[in-house]
Structure 1
Amino acid sequence: MRTDSPSDVLPSRDHLPATWRDVPVLDVVIPVFNEEKDLGPCVLRLHDHLTRTFPYPFRITVADNASTDRTPQVAAELADSVGEVRHVRLDQKGRGRALRAVWSASDAPVLAYMDVDLSTDLNALLPLVAPLISGHSDLAIGSRLARSSRVVRGPKREFISRAYNLILRGSLHARFSDAQCGFKAIRGDVARVLLPLVEDTGWFFDTEMLVLAERAGLRIHEVPVDWVDDPDSTVHLVRTATDDLKGVWRVGRALAVGALPLDRLARPFGDDPRDRQLTGVPGGLARQLVGFCVVGALSTLFYLLLYSGFRTFTGSQAANALALLVSAVANTAANRRLTFGVRGRDRAVRHQAQGLVVFGIGLALTSGSLAALGAASGDPAHSTELAVLVAANLAATVLRFLLLRAWVFADRRETSSEATAPAPTPTYDITHAHDLQNPAYDLQNPAHDLTAPRDLTAPHDPRNAR
């Protein structure tokens, strides 16, 4: 799983200026493999639709990933005859690989892709990209599972699609409705920061991108679509489903262990109203209290179960100390992730050490309560011990929350305030007309080497991206 990520945050969303004319605003990528029959009619139909309905300059990029039929020749002929069409040739298969290559090199501020069969009605294209142009959203997807969508397809594909999205909701807690619809768009500035985190190069690519974007707090816009199944589709359902499930397991495991630095992307924009500081109102206090109470209730139950187990073979003081120690480690880890939103392994040891100090205070309170009980009644009943421990833990809980918020995880709030400061918005040289005289995009050119390190912090110049 990739863990490299630029250290800066994404810029604030801005509406693209209405005077943008020299650089294509929208780059629609059509990834293809052995589509010599459908490619020509598809591209011409899409070009006609964009010419009639899209108010900004656009480009159509045919991303041929290692076709073995006449697809490269057809794509080259289209690029020669239609000014807004270009052709990219890759030597390896993989839809994700093709999208990563073209999107990473594109100079367009809005990037999209669609399947070559054009199963999705093209009238949804403008609603798809409009929120990205306006700056309202970061990604946009077409959804065949929205209530107002109109879909024609067989029961087998319907079942597989709904089952897959249920798996995503249950395992990765995804909130978007349709991960597999081949009709998506993303802002270029977001893509340059998000794509380095996406590992898959095949059909799971866009699902992984959506899951990571959602976990990072990016806004995903959904558009209901009209969709008609292509009976001649070459997608291998069983193999694709197997690869997708492997991807779900890989991403879920990485998220569970904090292997992805999503905290660097969290709350990336300076225009989020939740980031506005109000005098006298501590940020996130209500949410932290709810999270702390939930974690505290579960920790208390865990502690009581441990105490009862340890008490069967040791004294009350030793059982109390052991139960508190184990539950304190679990409590600190749970509060770190769920209550205070700290992800990754940075300062994890330090937080646990500070948590043990808080544990020591809780130990002193509960042990003192047990000692006082023993002095008062000699040999108290087990139920009485539990009641006293519950009362002592309630007193210690308030102090624990204050210490966690003000001392253990105080650095988290400082980091968050720094991370939410808006980074400079990338600038585009729109005075330089885009050269469409040479539409064939040569990936063998060292200037177009997509495997070379990219400086994602530098201002974007479309002349260097082509």
Structure 2
Amino acid sequence: MRTDTSWGTLPAREHLPVEVTDAPVLDVTIPVYNEEQDLEPCVRRLHEHLARTFPYSFRITIADNASTDRTPQVAARLDTEIPEVRAYRLEQKGRGRALRTVWSHSDAPVLAYMDVDLSTDLNALLPLVAPLISGHSDLAIGSRLSRSSRVVRGPKREFISRAYNLILKSSLSARFSDAQCGFKAIRRDVAQRLLPMVEDTGWFFDTEMLVLAERAGLRIHEVPVDWIDDPDSTVHIVKTATEDLKGVWRVGRALAVGALPLDRLARPFGDDPRDRRIGGVPGGLARQLVGFCVVGALSTLFYLLLYSVFRAMAGPQLANAAALLVSAVANTAANRRLTFGVRGRERAVRHQAQGLVVFAIGLALTSGSLAALDAATGTPSHSTELAVLIAANLAATVLRFLLLRAWVFPERRTDDLPARDIAPASATASATASTPVSTPVSSATATVPVPASASSDTADLDSRTAR
């Protein structure tokens, strides 16, 4: 996978080490807003479940985003009384903002979150995070729409949920089944790359994160869950649906123009020796040939269609040149993204200019073929012209692939890049400026730095209670 960013690609997934460390293996975040009644029973129930059933160390993080009731005091008390609980306070609302902030500062290798009402059966928590611990998957989500899920909720919410997922499938080609279930987990190394690319700070945060992860080829594990609707939920359905639709439009537009550097999320194959690069063999050649052939076949059909249209209005040479020009621009754009894996706008104009040079070579071959045909037969039939053009295009196709691979989109070797271009995400993050946080959760506080790579909204993050 080629990249026009300075991040490099993600390393291969590995099983998390089993040795005991200071950091917990799992950090479960509970975002809350004005939940003074439900917060304590939720945290104590979750803590009891994890202490009884979870085989690894864990932490429960309360992310209070701008509550105006006694929620901050309840969170501070739980932080003091339970060693595995800590509390964060943000002065701005937004579930996405709370999750991004807490996850960006967590030292746990697996990050999860769940809603404070604990609508999802907690027995699904271990199956949710197990594939992330083992290195099998990058993200995991609970699904209420799986056939084996058992869900209790009203027809209104059922309709809204299924309609929303239908919109995602039709507009963004999403393959995951349930974007809005408040029961998800992600590996920290993935979160470090993915979270800076997620713009939403509200309820659409989950969906945007999943869509970008899926488009980047990350593995999303789905767990069927038992789920009971909370009749006292304070979510404003109409407002949330409107914001979600705006988010769908924004993400769809960004994906359409290639504005997101998804290549920084690419994963190599696993640690099987058969998956490693073999010396002397160009990487990704087979995949590129398949992609080039698919794009080429579609481009040829597009070209022939254009030629037939233009031929009705102009002579064969002019029709051929116009059809080649239009199809060449589309062909270069498609090969840039689909065959050679280059995303983003950097050097896009240069690539198109080089593609036009390749187009000129193809034009010379096909135009020369038409000239030779005209000299040989005088007035060839339309079907004969098409046959000659197909043969000429086959010859030009081989040359086009070689030029695209060796000149337009050359392989960028990691050892040829300057050090700044292959710096790991952790090094990049540590070099950024930090913003101190000062709003107290309780009487004793510690300052938590917020990296500049995170959203600027995290500047209001409160420090956790010091023990």
Name 1:238's counterpart in structure 2: 238
From the superposition, tell whether residues 7 and 373 of structure 1 become closer, same or farther in structure 2 (CA, over 3 Å): same
* Structure 2 SS opposite 1:63: strand
CA contact (8 A) 1:333 1:352 kept: yes
Q: So what's the TM-score if we normalise by structure 1?
A: 0.85
- Between the aligned partners of 1:266 and 1:17, the Cα distance in structure 2 is 22
Two-structure CA RMSD over aligned residues (Å)? 3.2
| TM alignment of 1:62-461, pairs within 5 A | 62-267=62-267, 271=271, 276-278=276-278, 282-411=282-411, 414=413, 447-450=447-450, 452=452
- Between the aligned partners of 2:6 and 2:46, the Cα distance in structure 1 is 35
CA contact (8 A) 1:216 1:263 kept: yes
* Structure 2 SS opposite 1:227: strand
CA contact (8 A) 1:66 1:91 kept: yes
Residue deviations 1:2-51 (CA, integer Å, cap 9, x gap): xx976244344333333325322221111011111211111111111111
Displacement of 1:418: 7.8
CA contact (8 A) 1:292 1:339 kept: yes
CA contact (8 A) 1:9 1:423 kept: no
- Between the aligned partners of 1:12 and 1:160, the Cα distance in structure 2 is 38
| TM alignment of 1:17-96, pairs within 5 A | 17-96=17-96
From the superposition, tell whether residues 21 and 322 of structure 1 become closer, same or farther in structure 2 (CA, over 3 Å): closer
From the superposition, tell whether residues 408 and 22 of structure 1 become closer, same or farther in structure 2 (CA, over 3 Å): closer
CA contact (8 A) 1:10 1:423 kept: no
* Structure 1 SS opposite 2:391: helix
Q: So what's the TM-score if we normalise by structure 2?
A: 0.85
Displacement of 1:161: 1.6
What amino acid does structure 1 have at the position aligned with 2:284?
G
What amino acid does structure 1 have at the position aligned with 2:404?
L
From the superposition, tell whether residues 396 and 274 of structure 1 become closer, same or farther in structure 2 (CA, over 3 Å): farther
CA contact (8 A) 1:27 1:106 kept: yes
- Between the aligned partners of 2:372 and 2:112, the Cα distance in structure 1 is 69
* Structure 1 SS opposite 2:175: coil
Displacement of 1:415: 5.9
- Between the aligned partners of 1:108 and 1:214, the Cα distance in structure 2 is 23
- Between the aligned partners of 2:290 and 2:103, the Cα distance in structure 1 is 41
CA contact (8 A) 2:405 2:411 kept: no
Farther off after superposition, 230-239 or 284-293: 284-293
CA contact (8 A) 1:20 1:56 kept: no
What amino acid does structure 2 have at the position aligned with 1:393?
N
Displacement of 1:401: 2.5
- Between the aligned partners of 1:9 and 1:292, the Cα distance in structure 2 is 23
CA contact (8 A) 1:10 1:422 kept: no
CA contact (8 A) 2:288 2:339 kept: yes
- Between the aligned partners of 1:332 and 1:166, the Cα distance in structure 2 is 32
- Between the aligned partners of 2:85 and 2:225, the Cα distance in structure 1 is 25
* Structure 2 gap ranges (5+): 428-439, 455-463
- Between the aligned partners of 1:284 and 1:144, the Cα distance in structure 2 is 38
From the superposition, tell whether residues 292 and 123 of structure 1 become closer, same or farther in structure 2 (CA, over 3 Å): same
Name 1:459's counterpart in structure 2: none
Residue deviations 1:137-195 (CA, integer Å, cap 9, x gap): 22211111222222222222222222222222222222222111101111222222221
Number of residue equivalences:
440
From the superposition, tell whether residues 445 and 257 of structure 1 become closer, same or farther in structure 2 (CA, over 3 Å): farther
What amino acid does structure 2 have at the position aligned with 1:111?
L
Name 2:458's counterpart in structure 1: none
From the superposition, tell whether residues 77 and 84 of structure 1 become closer, same or farther in structure 2 (CA, over 3 Å): same
Displacement of 1:53: 1.0
CA contact (8 A) 1:179 1:210 kept: yes
From the superposition, tell whether residues 291 and 189 of structure 1 become closer, same or farther in structure 2 (CA, over 3 Å): closer
What amino acid does structure 1 have at the position aligned with 2:73?
Q
Displacement of 1:57: 2.2
From the superposition, tell whether residues 262 and 202 of structure 1 become closer, same or farther in structure 2 (CA, over 3 Å): same
CA contact (8 A) 2:112 2:183 kept: yes
CA contact (8 A) 1:442 1:448 kept: no
From the superposition, tell whether residues 126 and 422 of structure 1 become closer, same or farther in structure 2 (CA, over 3 Å): farther
Displacement of 1:78: 2.0
From the superposition, tell whether residues 52 and 410 of structure 1 become closer, same or farther in structure 2 (CA, over 3 Å): same
- Between the aligned partners of 1:248 and 1:444, the Cα distance in structure 2 is 42
What amino acid does structure 1 have at the position aligned with 2:118?
L
From the superposition, tell whether residues 184 and 259 of structure 1 become closer, same or farther in structure 2 (CA, over 3 Å): same
* Structure 2 SS opposite 1:448: coil
What amino acid does structure 2 have at the position aligned with 1:24?
P
Displacement of 1:444: 12
From the superposition, tell whether residues 425 and 341 of structure 1 become closer, same or farther in structure 2 (CA, over 3 Å): closer
- Between the aligned partners of 1:394 and 1:22, the Cα distance in structure 2 is 62
What amino acid does structure 1 have at the position aligned with 2:331?
N
Farther off after superposition, 158-167 or 229-238: 158-167
From the superposition, tell whether residues 286 and 32 of structure 1 become closer, same or farther in structure 2 (CA, over 3 Å): same
- Between the aligned partners of 2:187 and 2:441, the Cα distance in structure 1 is 21
CA contact (8 A) 1:117 1:230 kept: yes
